[in-house]
Amino acid sequence: MPQKKQTVSLVLGSGGARGMAHVGVIRWLEDHNYEIKSISGCSIGAAIGGAYAMGNLEQFVAWLEKYKRSDMYYMLDFMFGKGGFVKGDKVLETIKKQIGTELIENLPIKFTAVAADISNEEEVWLRKGSLSEAIRASISLPLFFTPYELNGVKLLDGGILNPTPIEPTLNDGTDLTIVVNLGGAPEVKLPEKQVKKDPWQRKLDIYINKMKKYRNKTSNEWSMMYVADQSFNAMQNAIAQQKMKMYPPDFVINIPRNKCNTLEFEKTAEMIEFGYKIAGDVLGKRHVVKAKASVG
């Protein structure tokens, strides 16, 4: 007799390109007898969650897997003096094309995109209306994108106030609530194993290291975007930890915050694979315990 699928409320956090790990988590859940009944997403989590709820996730992923850093410049309509560097109209058109234009209330899966109304200092839960516009509002990274006006309210990235939006799922009545947090503890990178090198290789390494040191001294490492990105990540991480203490989910899948940078979408395939693996690491133990219990 087939085992009944366990229902899941899935919370997909914000964190730029690290959010491609969301795709790997979703694939793992589908492969292991879980049914996603509800999704609450913020920023990239809203984009991935919305694509899945729409039934267009694989199309969206196929497009992103072809993404190159140079492609980004064709999608950006730069402007200045309106609250951000990028107007975002081209991004909205891309969302419509790659994800869809359905109304949220007509989706087969309950879906909430979370944005931030900073004028009133409150979250906005987008559960009705245009899916593509809700995603555009939720991904409005401060300083980078201009705020998106929806229903007369200017909205920014939901991660400002709630990077892991658990609250919209509290009354779902599903078996499990699973959070994918993109601000996990940094991954510790072990030093590479030292291999004996010939004298010429050692001299070349010394020269390269000297050039790196010189470049670091002369380059402006603390660019405005770097400072803004790191500050935003630090703020989100602190808020996410508070929210998860207030509303403890059944499981948290933590993606290391140094796994990739905010705009490194060229690492899509790598992050999807990592998301699948870490979902297995966190949730796979549960299957082992259940199997032992059924045998006993």
Closest CA relative to residue 18, chosen from 155, 122, 164, 135: 164
Phi, psi at 168, each rounded to 5°: -65, -15
- The Cα–Cα gap between 293 and 94 comes to 48
- Contact status, residue 109 vs residue 38, Cβ threshold 8 Å: yes
Which two three-digit tokens encode residue 53? 């709820």
Which two three-digit tokens encode residue 12? 């997909």
Check if 38 is active-site.
Answer: no
Check if 43 is active-site.
Answer: yes
Residue with token string 């549960």: 286
Catalytic residue from among 40, 43, 138, 140: 43
Which two three-digit tokens encode residue 175? 């078996």
Instruction: Give the chain's count of helices (H) and strands (E).
Output: 9, 10
Catalytic residue from among 9, 130, 140, 157: 157
Q: Could you tell me the end-to-end alpha-carbon distance of the chain, in angstroms, rounded to an integer?
A: 18
Chain centre distance of CA 273: 14
C-alpha count within 13 angstroms, C-beta hemisphere, residue 256: 10
- Contact status, residue 125 vs residue 114, Cβ threshold 8 Å: yes
CA distances from 253 to 17, 19, 68, 172, 181 (A): 16, 12, 27, 20, 6
CA distances from 18 to 165, 171, 180, 229 (A): 17, 28, 11, 13
Which two three-digit tokens encode residue 33? 């007898």
Residue with token string 């006006």: 149
Catalytic residue positions?
43, 157
